[in-house]
A and B are shown apart, each in its own frame.
Chain A
Amino acid sequence: GENVEQHPSTLSVQEGDSAVIKCTYSDSASNYFPWYKQELGKRPQLIIDIRSNVGEKKDQRIAVTLNKTAKHFSLHITETQPEDSAVYFCAASPTSYGKLTFGQGTILTVHP
């Protein structure tokens, strides 16, 4: 089955800096890669996603890049703000069904 590795497990940045979280996946059949943000005690919320026919996608301060050959994808957050502090999860899903395999999560802390 699919295996998703996520790094780093914790990331601490100063407000205004950029943050990058990286994930690798194992199943070459995966073609949908969402990123979720989870605040303490709350539900995971989809913040951005990318499909395998696209190499990069941006939404304001957030961007995701995908390298299918290397089987890795990354989340980039620019001009970080304290409210970006949360746990971020990457996930991968194969073409045949919608099951998401999640990475272990990255605790992002943005210091004012």
Chain B
Amino acid sequence: DSGVTQTPKHLITATGQRVTLRCSPRSGDLSVYWYQQSLDQGLQFLIQYYNGEERAKGNILERFSAQQFPDLHSELNLSSLELGDSALYFCASARDWRNTEAFFGQGTRLTVV
């Protein structure tokens, strides 16, 4: 167990819908990352938050947004869902915003039908 908790584990929803994925980082970790893993794109960095503020942005679509709350948990919001958004979404956390060890949660498997 990495100490990073993601909910839900599985999510099935229809195209056009909106979903929220939740992540609780390890105790003491201030940095949260979101990654998308699909068969054809591999592991892609989406966005990073550090202590409530956005720190870095990757290949995140405009339909997607995220935030980190004062208690340090983070949510990834995916809207106007398309079939191609079906993927595993991982959250990872680290102590600092710099390049330190990142520990991954178990992921949320999103299926858009």
Please report A residues at the B interface, Cβ cutoff 8 Å. Answer: 31-32, 34, 36, 42-46, 49, 89, 93-105
Least CB distance, B71 to chain A, in whole angstroms: 21
Least CB distance, A111 to chain B, in whole angstroms: 24
> A43-B2, A43-B90, A43-B105 in contact; A102/B33 too (CB < 8 A)?
no
B94 on the interface (CB 8 Å rule)? Answer: yes
Judging by beta carbons under 8 Å apart, are A32 and B106 in contact? no
Q: Count of A-B contacts with CB under 8 A?
A: 65
Query: Residues of B contacting A46 with CB < 8 Å?
Result: 101-103
Counting contact residues on chain B (CB < 8 A from A), the size range is: 20 to 34
B74 on the interface (CB 8 Å rule)? Answer: no
Chain B CB count within 10 A is highest, among A32, A99, A105, for A99
Judging by beta carbons under 8 Å apart, are B45 and A43 in contact? no
Chain B, Cβ-Cβ closest to A33: B99
Judging by beta carbons under 8 Å apart, are A102 and B42 in contact? yes
Judging by beta carbons under 8 Å apart, are A97 and B56 in contact? yes
Q: Which of B67-113 touch A at CB < 8 Å?
A: 90, 94, 96-107
Query: Residues of B contacting A104 with CB < 8 Å?
Result: 42
Judging by beta carbons under 8 Å apart, are A43 and B55 in contact? no
Judging by beta carbons under 8 Å apart, are A98 and B43 in contact? no
> A99-B45, A99-B56 in contact; A31/B99 too (CB < 8 A)?
yes
Chain A CB count within 10 A is highest, among B55, B104, B106, for B104
Judging by beta carbons under 8 Å apart, are B48 and A99 in contact? yes
Chain B, Cβ-Cβ closest to A91: B43
